[in-house]
Amino acid sequence: MGTEVFSFWSILDKVSRSLEGHRLADVFRTVSFYPGETYGEDRHRRIEINYVKRGDCYLRCGGDEVRFRENELMIVGSNVFHSFRAGQEGTVLMQLEFLPEIFSSLSASTPSRDGFSGAPVFPEENQLIKIVNHVRIKRTVQNIINELTEENCYGRQMVVLYYAELLLLICRYMNEVCLPFPVNDTLRKAVSYIREHYYRELPISEIARFSGVGERYLHKLFIRQFSCSPLHYLNQYRIDKSLDLLQNTDLSVKEISFSCGFQSPQYFARVFHRYCGCTPREWSSSRVKVE
């Protein structure tokens, strides 16, 4: 029984050839909107990704209006009705729109035994995806826009690679955020609320109130599902976000501590040490030495 050998270059060539005749993006730009400026209702085949660089805005999708603030990212699936409204102070967006064939070509061309090939990235229930403070996804979108704008040598191949990275990062995010069934609906609400509001002061009482239960019952749900308390889950999520910022940005420890919802750099350092066995600065120094 023969074994087909896949090389990096053969896969890249296969994907690039499958996209011949397709534009790698229909919209790639940074654009400003006046306070209260509106667009829509609109629907198009393109997958739409918007990163909020400044200000805030609202996207209405499926009867719900969702607010997006600075450093948050929205992903609108193909053929989804949506409308846009800038916030009271206006907003600046980094926009990337491309046909779904880009992602489908990548997933169909990926040799894999883990069930990833051909997996739908945007099923019906994920028509609008909100991602908060994800540095790597934002950076990858920026890299795609830069390559498309600069048109350097091997630029098309670089864009394909960045799209592959973007697809993997989104799939990883969806795998982490979407809880497996049969998760209790109350727990699903609580986890979603934590992941959307972790960057600010977030009392457990507020999470329980949003979930429609008491703190004691919420504690039981978290112990049953995750073998930890809601506070432990919240802190672990904040630490995971801080590790991403420590590795992928030049933000100071103080800036990262507040970005991740800790009340002070000192408290951040104590919690970080509890979970990682070292201080944030020690972790950053060890990463520099390894790399």
Closest CA to 139 of 196, 76, 96: 96
* Residue owning tokens 């990275």: 165
- For 66, the token pair is 């969702």
Using the 8-state DSSP alphabet, how is residue 63 labeled?
Answer: T
How far is 160 from 154, CA to CA, in rounded Å? 10
- pLDDT of res. 123: 53
Q: What are phi and psi of 249, to 5 degrees?
A: -135, 170
Report, as ranges of residue numbers, the positions in the chain whose pLDDT lies below 70: 1-6, 107-126, 175-183, 286-291
Closest CA to 140 of 163, 116, 112: 163
- pLDDT of res. 288: 47
* Residue owning tokens 């109130």: 209
- pLDDT of res. 234: 93
Per residue in 67-121, pLDDT (tens digit) is 898 888 999 988 889 999 999 999 999 999 998 888 887 765 544 444 444 445 5
- pLDDT of res. 110: 47
Q: What are phi and psi of 222, to 5 degrees?
A: -70, -40
Residue 287 vs residues 106, 255, 258, 282: alpha-carbon distances, Å: 31, 19, 22, 9
Exposure on the CB side of residue 192, measured as CA atoms within 13 A: 14
Q: What are phi and psi of 131, to 5 degrees?
A: -125, 125
How far is 72 from 172, CA to CA, in rounded Å? 17
Exposure on the CB side of residue 217, measured as CA atoms within 13 A: 10
Q: Are 76 and 93 in contact (CB under 8 A)?
A: no
Q: Are 98 and 116 in contact (CB under 8 A)?
A: no
Residue 163 vs residues 48, 111, 169, 207: alpha-carbon distances, Å: 13, 17, 10, 35
As beta bridge partners, residue 73 has: 51, 131
- For 48, the token pair is 């739409």
Q: Are 75 and 129 in contact (CB under 8 A)?
A: yes
Residue 54 vs residues 45, 69, 104, 199: alpha-carbon distances, Å: 27, 8, 31, 17
- pLDDT of res. 97: 94
Exposure on the CB side of residue 105, measured as CA atoms within 13 A: 20
Instruction: Respond yes or no on whether the N-terminal peptide bond of residue 196 is cis (omega within 30° of 0).
Output: no
How far is 38 from 242, CA to CA, in rounded Å? 35
